Structure 1
């Protein structure tokens, strides 16, 4: 006998998330098939009798998502499913019995997930954004970088055909300005569909444009265009301000027009010579993309590529890069950077390195310094990240934080999952993030290995 179990799944951010959930569910003993929809936030599992919804929900939870039985037209929920519903809870009321008011600072993956979950729980939300709606991933991170990487991969395949006997290799003409235009158009479309339209269609979310800072533990000051200031009192608050590229303390660097990943992705020209300082994911993936599009690329790695991971990964990527003509300088640092007459000059222990452009990708720093966190008693770590517990609470219990502005792994999957859980906890529930770190460590390393292919 085969049963069909329907689950609601919160925290998925794309079709890739749905694929990973489906694969995990189909590995559960007794599961015959699973269909998972990201747009519907739903999974339908065909399983042998005896496979419980508890087991399936627990499997989904190991990936960092929250699963509960979708009882729309389905059988009555089990005790376990009722328990999940109790944990998710309904929104508590604010003063005078009015709906709980939650302020969300930011509009990226963590902020959007939290805002949508909070209004689903019955709260009212004020979302505050100082710049472009959507945060890092859709605007200057995952989306544009993967589009560029895919274009570079196609250029590489045309130049290095794996079917030389039947498909002749050729050197493609790279029109970088057109690639950037196509890339930005896709970014704009996704931001509109995934963020701006959803916010506009959700009347219980009010969007304020401006810079937010804490006045005290229960209110924000939002400085808007034209010098207008607005006070925003709140019952709960989520800090989801993300992170920005960090500048390493290299003498002379700040006086040069170096690139961060943002400028590199937006550049309409390809440099003849590109130097890259950094040895982790962002540095490595952009280095290879530019090389495959035609730049002569040199990477300066303070240690080795991916030195914090399994050494075999760094060794394999380094070998692949060198085979593609990318120069990888291991155990090399720039002691000074200068810029004159359109050329960068980097002083290293191995002599001078000259380049037309310099990309610095040595990490990201939390966007928290302008928030006046001390006014709300919110503690930060040495890097400026908001210190949180497993429930995403800061040192001030009714103020939460999620995503890249904390010490969580800087991936949109973590941010979205954490934002969802923060919203549940802010509205009377009690759930912890748990399980996502292990999942992401495996997923991230798999992505890193495939980047070099």
Structure 2
């Protein structure tokens, strides 16, 4: 006999748990089917948590070896790589228990099944040979690394973020395919821990969706630390030889052969939808298998929703959780809440960090918005000057007719901490003049926002400290 539920959630990550918690609040009978990563999904198991732990570990090594202060002579660090990875694993286990597994006892209306779910029709899924029917179904199966069709790759051992972070023996060298945020974060952290790293990017620059001033600035600092970045580099073939991975790469019409002890693939993400049987439910998918949804998170099938990395929206853990809650409200409370990511803040956790919110110049141009940009180098920000670390800049983009802030891009150590002020300024229509007149504490990085706002009309180089 088919078992009946108000809601069936396929997946066990952040979007799924947010949906389950909201459904429990509404006293909806809910089935969660998890058949991929352990409960908690990408973020806690193989994504955000392990990567940020390792980034901080690598940063501590960097600081122990480099100091800009004349009176501080760094002595270096003794790195026990295996111990770092083991501590990472313990943290992941603790976070998975605290933020996911321990919550299950309080979700009285939730049933959790381990197994692979496949649609039988738009209201029915099969799991482990049993059928389950739901009034509404939420697809929350997440995404995984997209594996490109490179000649020889299927016969060559390679790693992804799912497997690299669990290696307890430190790689001697890494050849990372892909210059997006995942590839760059991995490249810098392993380089800082003592692994020789080469990044190969087919496009003409890393983080290619960003403007050249951002990518050039980041590339300069990563290269200065020793990360070998090859852009405009198309990999033609990979193979394993004498315990090394080798790659034929074409750069500007010239062929090169690169080699490393390990190959890492970081060429974007694809949705985990291949074996869901979406055709049986009539659900439409797009590029790389992502489920197409409208602004209410509905698929083309009225009772089926898609939330988190599996859909076409920005793939962040905080958007996934937001979507899980929103979808349940729309599905069962008659709500019509639209997801709006026009002022979504985002971060790349390199050092310096790259962060942004709203439009950049090219996006404003494409939308026909009259714009003006102002760039404040950190060499003019007192906090950065005093810290002897002036890497990066703060760029504000305003509507040149209304003076309202419409976007920002930041390259700065801990620059992500500025994004919420800027996000709220854009959302609530705060003008650049108002930002410039607001009191920002002296010797904070946030003061750089004030200076960048002031620089639309003043030359801050000719101003005294704290001048308004």
Q: TM-score, normalised by structure 2?
A: 0.72
Give 1:128's aligned residue. 33
Equivalent position of 2:428 in the other structure? none
Partner of 1:159: 65
Equivalent position of 1:402 in the other structure: 307
Spell out, residue by residue over 1:75-103, the C-alpha distance to the aligned partner (whole angstroms, 9 max, x if none): xxxxxxxxxxxxxxxxxxxxxxxx96100
Does residue 283 of the first structure (1) align with residue 183 of the second (2)? Answer: yes
* 1:192 maps to which of 97, 114, 117: 97
- The alpha carbon displacement at 1:204 in A equals 0.6
**8 Å CA contact retained: 2:185, 2:348:** no
Offset, 1:437: 4.2
Aligned position for 2:273: 368
- C-alpha distance in 2, partners of 1:399/1:276? 37
Choose between structure 1 and 2 for higher RCO, CA contacts under 8 A separated by at least 6 residues: 1
Aligned residue number for residue 241 of structure 1: 141
Q: Which runs of 5+ in 2 are unaligned?
A: 357-409, 416-468
**Correspondence 1:135-174 to 2 at 5 A:** 135-163=41-69, 165-174=70-79
Aligned match for 1:336, one of 216, 237, 261: 237
Seen in structure 2, the aligned counterparts of structure 1 residues 357 and 335 have a Cα distance that, compared at 3 Å, is same
Q: Does 1:378 align with 2:283?
A: yes
Distance 2:197 2:75 in 1: 21
Structure 1 residues without counterparts, runs of 5 or longer: 1-98, 224-228
Structure 1 position 260 matched with structure 2 position 160: yes
Tell me the residue number matched to 1:311: 212
SS at match of 1:419: helix
Q: Which residue of 1 aligns with 2:107?
A: 202
C-alpha displacement of 1:185: 0.6
Distance 1:100 1:343, change over 3 A: closer
> How far did residue 282 of structure 1 move?
0.2
**What SS class does the counterpart of residue 147 from structure 1 fall into?**
helix
Deviates more, 1:165-174 or 1:301-310: 165-174
The answer to whether the 8 A contact 1:418-1:433 is kept is no
Deviations 1:278-326 (A, max 9, x none): 1110000000000000011111111211111121111011100111111
- 1:431 CA displacement: 3.0
Q: How many residues align?
A: 349
Q: 1:243 to 1:451 in 2, by over 3 A?
A: farther
Q: Structure 1's 207 and 357: CA in aligned 2 closer, same or farther, altered over 3 A?
A: same
Structure-2 change in CA distance of 1:411 and 1:450 (3 Å): farther
Change in CA separation of 1:181 and 1:437 when aligned onto 2, cut-off 3 Å? farther
Deviations 1:389-445 (A, max 9, x none): 111111110011111111111101111111111010111232334333432358994
2:331 aligned residue (406, 413, 426): 426
In 2, Cα distance between the equivalents of 1:169 and 1:179? 21
The answer (yes or no) to whether the contact 1:320–1:452 under 8 Å persists in 2 is no
